Structure 1
């Protein structure tokens, strides 16, 4: 069974939070796949090259010639061509195949009632499937904490 983490965006946008979470995953030696809506892939691709003037996150997209070689793979599909241990789900991507990963990180926009409702549905589905679920929220100090 996987650990399924639900990150509730309230204080910072996805563009700030995602690179931080990906950095932590890479520090642990994990390969990652990020599943997002097709229209967001190009923006995420650019973000991961430019989010920090002093750094970048090595990655590619599912359109690249060798997606299996990428430590972080951006995709709009459910496949895991780079053998990732961690799957990030954005844009209401479905929580399917979670058991194939050590961790699944579902990031949802707290300002969008539809995203919150979908996250609640996914929470219940993850619990029914026997996954270890946890809810993460940013405190006043900007740090993420399990609630």
Structure 2
């Protein structure tokens, strides 16, 4: 079963919040796939990651760039994982089949916008489904000083 962390964004957007999380992932020697809801959100995130201030470089790729197996971070709006990533980041309402899809990952990061009521409702539904499926769950809330684990 995957360990699933729900990350409730209250102070920043996804691009600013995900950059340090991806930096820690790479620092641990792991690879990641970031799944967005649509091609436009992936293009926006791609641009933001190239401009991220901290960490100062996040090597990543998309289907448009190719060389998926070589990319430490893969951005997609599909279910492709060409880099063998064991960490999955869900952003912008992207969803994964809770029961079977998460099992191929060690960790799942579900980032959602706490200022968007639809995003909060969607995250609650994903939490409930993941709990029923038996995944280990944690809930993190963004504060002025960083992330605080609430459960």
TM-score range, shorter chain: over 0.9
Which is further off, 37-46 or 18-27? 37-46
Preserved contact between residue 19 and residue 54 of structure 2 (Cα < 8 Å): no
TM-score (norm 1): 0.94
Deviation at 1:65, TM superposition (A): 2.5
Name the counterpart of 2:82: 81
Matches within 5 A, 1:59-138: 59-96=60-97, 97-138=101-142
Unaligned runs of 5+ in 2: none
Unaligned runs of 5+ in 1: none
Matches within 5 A, 1:22-33: 22-33=22-33
Number of positions where the alignment pairs a residue of Structure 1 with one of Structure 2: 146
Q: C-alpha separation between the residues in 2 aligned to 1:116 and 1:145?
A: 17
CA RMSD of superposed structures (Å)? 1.4
Q: Extract structure 1 runs of 4+ deviating beyond 6 A.
A: none
Deviation at 1:63, TM superposition (A): 2.5
Preserved contact between residue 109 and residue 116 of structure 1 (Cα < 8 Å): yes
Q: C-alpha separation between the residues in 2 aligned to 1:22 and 1:28?
A: 10
Preserved contact between residue 95 and residue 122 of structure 1 (Cα < 8 Å): no
